[in-house]
Amino acid sequence: MEPIRVAITGSSGRMGRALLEALAEAPDLRLHAALDRPGSPVLGRDAGELIGAPNGVSVTDDLAAALDGAQVLIDFTRPEGTLEHLRAATLRGVNLVIGTTGFTDAQRREIADAARTIAIVQAPNFSVGVNLALKLLDLAARVLSQGYDVEIVEAHHRHKVDAPSGTALRMGEVVAQALGRDLRECAVYGREGITGARPDKTIGFATVRGGDIVGEHTVIFAGIGERLEISHKASSRATFAQGALRAARFVAGRPAGLFDMQDVLGLR
Ligand code: NAD
């Protein structure tokens, strides 16, 4: 079988390089084009050079040319960039894997609209472990629905620009849904000063930023006399890149629709 032709955006980024490394090791996928934002210092360079293994594909900012002939576009950039890539991919019928986080509700709606034309896998976290954790959280929340306070703590590297992480918010949504609550109404983002006692039925978020932490999430169910913690720690971006490649295989040639990693992993 012919390898699936994959284009990537954000080639110079942390996830872009992890994707280049993962693609170089995947015989069933081929790097069709490597994009980066206009003005990026890596434009015109061999994409493989960025990971020390030249591959003859030059990094470009020409979105139309890069998508021509591509089957799947994998995008880990910034919300405004992703929306631009989404519009171009929709016009050309190229399916999409979206790893970017930090979207507004309006941007999410635009992604959902595009998924009526192309197939899209969108997930705030592409690791298998985190997606299994989401299933475990649903179960834990149902069993611990009375008398347990839920708090979510996440930690990431010093360069991360959005908070709480998309993964922490997704974890909050899963727990809130299992408890019959609306996260928009029950979330508490950080605390300071004389806060008073913890209101019942809230879900608290705390954020740590520092150094090179790849991504850590802990959901605490704190009751009287016991505490359950469900934790995930990513030690390398390779786990997200491998998950994104699984999503690319899943979405290639698929008819329009909006999917997430639960669909890709068969966890639904
Ligand atoms: P990064 O800053 O290292 O890289 C970002 C890349 O995007 C760079 O190559 C940059 O040139 C490019 N870019 C920035 N703005 C752009 C624009 N407007 N148009 C086109 N390209 C643009 O970031 P990173 O650590 O690689 O993370 C990228 C995104 O992926 C973030 O939103 C992050 O939260 C998310 N992320 C998601 C997962 C997941 O599993 N879903 C895992 C890790 C990171």
Atom 12 in ligand 1: which residue has the minimum CA distance?
Answer: 10
**Considering 160, 217, 232, 233, which one is annotated as catalytic?**
160
- Between the CA of 77 and the centroid of ligand 1 the distance, in Å, is 3
Q: 77 CB less than 6 Å from ligand 1? A: yes
Collapsed DSSP state (helix, strand, coil) of residue 67: helix
* Residue 156 designated active-site: yes
Tokens of 242: 């491998």
Per-residue model confidence as pLDDT tens digits over 248-266:
999 999 999 999 999 999 9
Helix, strand, coil percent values for the chain (each to nearest 5): 35, 25, 40
What residue ranges define each of the domains in the chain, with the CATH number in brackets?
Answer: 4-122+237-264 (3.40.50.720), 128-234 (3.30.360.10)
* End-to-end Cα, the chain, rounded Å: 29
Q: 176 CB less than 6 Å from ligand 1? A: no
Per-residue model confidence as pLDDT tens digits over 74-133:
999 999 999 999 999 999 999 999 999 999 999 999 999 999 999 999 999 999 999 999
**Considering 32, 85, 156, 232, which one is annotated as catalytic?**
156
- Global pTM reads 0.94
